[in-house]
Chain A
């Protein structure tokens, strides 16, 4: 049995736990504690890892890891990103400066982004349409990064599946390149 890994990262409250739960075959294992950050309206937050998984027909497993949202845990990010199939960055548009939040993760995973498939899921755009998806794309272009940016509601399974499918498309493109003589 082989095991693979997909990584979910993003700010506290961006919905990593919810996203994992929407595709995991088992209830996600969470390591939440009471939130002491008064700037975030959330009773509990993840300080360790979220973990979920699903099993493929051949018995292989895809593990879904959610990183702790707080930047002070960034030392874990690189460890988790190692050998991952891809990285999903979730942003919360209701936060004061979502583009600055995104920059934290682009910086934190900068080395991995050169090769690691990545997609950005922007949440809570219904209530907070600004910054727009195009604003996100502009930030990425300034960094000379070409990463898919998608509007998501992580409570909807289809949206989370689309994020994962976007990672798979990147893998397919890369594999095609490798296989072409």
Chain B
């Protein structure tokens, strides 16, 4: 029976695929007790060594294996790239006793955005709207794109898109009438008079300036 969960932290997609594949191969051995998990808590985590520096390893999982650049592994809890099956398997098997001896990390709920949009309801697009609804209108396309990417209230939609709130609300209503929106109740505990009028936190300034800079360069 599988007893331990393995996660990854800030690894390239190609390495994640490799790790998943290796675990599937290892699992053919009945004594192998690890399985890949998409979400925590994890018993062990494989993490890029450069990313672990800012995170105490214990905050990621009970055991952390650092993946370093070629020939840079420095201790028993690190292996060098490229990831080798036998090294990974040996490390995982070494962790079993250690993991059993440590308390399991608490389940960390995914971060839920606070209610900022008023009404406590968010909408997420279920599928891309029909051409008849979008009318090839760049503003409608932008609003639909935002709702495709994440759940938003009409006020949040207005804030991100910089389009008038009424226009955003109208568009949301149109999408709802077309049954294209999933309606999500935001946690009511986060709603407050102040929050209801607050603007969403700006994106990281670096990324924000990049997006602004590209738009300006393109004449948007």
Chain B hits for A111, CB < 8 A: 13, 17
Q: Is the CB of A146 within 8 A of B148?
A: yes
B208 to chain A, nearest CB (A): 7
B197 CB within 8 Å of chain A: no
A176 to B156 Cα, complex, angstroms = 10
A171 to B136 Cα, complex, angstroms = 21
Interface residues of A (CB under 8 A from B): 2, 4, 23, 54-58, 60, 62, 78, 82, 111-112, 117, 119, 132-134, 137, 140-141, 146-151, 161-162, 164-166, 168-181
**Set B128, B152, B208, B210: member contacting A147, Cβ < 8 A:** B128
A148 to B127 Cα, complex, angstroms = 9
A39 to B136 Cα, complex, angstroms = 31
A52 to B86 Cα, complex, angstroms = 44
Q: Is the CB of A171 within 8 A of B202?
A: no
Chain A hits for B201, CB < 8 A: 176, 179-181
What are 12 sample pairs from A and B whose C-beta atoms fall under 8 A apart? A57-B217, A133-B130, A137-B128, A146-B128, A148-B128, A175-B204, A175-B208, A176-B201, A177-B113, A178-B203, A179-B201, A181-B113
A137 to B126 Cα, complex, angstroms = 11
Chain B hits for A168, CB < 8 A: 211, 214-215
* Smallest CB gap from B208: residue in A: A175
Q: Is the CB of B215 within 8 A of A170?
A: no
Q: Is the CB of A173 within 8 A of B14?
A: no
Chain B hits for A180, CB < 8 A: 111, 113-114, 116, 200-201
Chain B hits for A57, CB < 8 A: 213, 216-217
The interface stretch among B21-29, B41-49, B59-67, B139-147 is: B139-147
Known: A132-B131, A180-B200. A169 touches B219 (CB 8 A): no
B107 CB within 8 Å of chain A: no
The 9 closest A-B pairs by CB, nearest first: A173-B149, A175-B203, A180-B113, A56-B213, A137-B128, A133-B131, A169-B145, A141-B127, A179-B201
Q: Is the CB of A165 within 8 A of B138?
A: yes
Interface residues on B, range: 35 or more
Known: A60-B210, A148-B148, A180-B201. A165 touches B128 (CB 8 A): no
A171 to B149 Cα, complex, angstroms = 9
Q: Is the CB of A162 within 8 A of B12?
A: no
Chain A hits for B101, CB < 8 A: none
Chain B hits for A134, CB < 8 A: 130-131
* Smallest CB gap from B124: residue in A: A146
Q: Is the CB of B203 within 8 A of A176?
A: yes
* Smallest CB gap from A58: residue in B: B213
B150 CB within 8 Å of chain A: yes
B168 CB within 8 Å of chain A: no
List 7 additional contacts besides A140-B127, A148-B145, A168-B214; criterion CB under 8 Å: A82-B12, A148-B141, A164-B218, A173-B149, A178-B204, A179-B201, A180-B200
Known: A176-B203, A181-B201. A146 touches B150 (CB 8 A): no
Chain A hits for B52, CB < 8 A: none
A137 to B133 Cα, complex, angstroms = 13
